[in-house]
Chain A
Amino acid sequence: MNITELNSFVVQQINSGVVIIDAEYNIDLINHFVVLHGGVKKEQAKGQNLFSLFPELPEHWLKRKLQSVFTLNTPAFSSWEQRQYIFKMPHSRPITTTNDFMAQNCTILPIVEKGEVKQACIIIEDATDVCYYQQQLNVAMNKLEKSNQTDGLTQVANRRYWEERCIIEFDTAQRHDRPLSLMLFDLDKFKNINDTFGHRGGDQVLVELAAKIKDLLRSADLIGRYGGEEFGIICPNTGGKGAAELSERIRKEVQMHKIMFEGQAIFVTLSIGVIEISDQYKSYEEMLSRADMALYQSKREGRNRVTLYKA
């Protein structure tokens, strides 16, 4: 084969799409890849308008892009990460991928003749594999992030994540001058439960209570396991009065909730400390230590009660 035949062989057989159009968007050349995946006939394509041969192309957008190639004599690019595909084509991995169409990286190159851009060459690369692995990776990363934030036993936020959220909510509340309340609560006489029912019994109590309380919260509230049998709740956009009412509801619900463990009923109560934000606190830690003081006051005064911290 001579060099022209070799060039044409490569263009036709390469595993990427090649479409060449003129300034009126009429097709001068398409290669085998486009014929195969685009479901068009080669003999129909030549001379036909790009947008009538591929009616699903994003016409206005692509024309603007092609204009930049023709007027500026610069290449243009499109990445699957921003736009999954330009040419709607099925891909060759139907089972493993979640996307219906071939992910594509496209390059549009100006073709210059006598100092003027006369044609544009669109090169379509199949990026379905990359796209698929990236999606798998994202799913895995999300799971990992979630598990990094979650307490293994109770499935509520762990202490690290809960405190991270405290910092964010504290800053937001201060910046926008919005209310914010924190609650700390402790299971009363948890040691007795462990002594009577064993650690498995104690664990079950923690798991059931965490789930029960989570159900009582609004979507913006966040419960986290602060220590062994100690939990915290962040209540954004909530003043002390509202948070104390919510605490009271939680206290009552928990008191009436029967937990069954190996045929025996377990009842538990909570001591709760509540605090609302005020200008005098420089950090969420200052709020937390006062919530802790309120919690201990609840304990001292006979447990199974709510105390709202008063400065």
Chain B
Amino acid sequence: MSIPVLICDDSALARKQVKKSLPQGWDIDVSMVTNGREAIDYLRANRVGIMFLDLTMPEIDGIGVLEINKAEKLVDFVVVVSADIQPDMKKKVESLGALAFINKPVSTDKLNNILKDYGLL
């Protein structure tokens, strides 16, 4: 059975970049949403194996999504993909239960390394 993957970013380019950087031949089923509100709605209605999450977004931002997810346990694996890459921000998302942090721009190598680290590949 393929793994359901959710990509959440307000930028179309960023969503495409994440999708294109996902490893070839990985059995996945990709869905995309464009802000934190949509992400929460989607997560409440669907089972998701891994979510790639941007931080700076309208409606509900990435931090907001992490907070709700921490309370409701909607998805286990969250990888934050962010332009805001300062150490303080990394600490903050990790404390909110994010699995890993990828500095934008995302690349196949960066993604592969993280997925391997967590045994997802």
Contact between chain A and chain B defined by CB under 8 Å: no
Chain B residues engaging chain A, CB cutoff 8 angstroms: none
Chain A residues engaging chain B, CB cutoff 8 angstroms: none
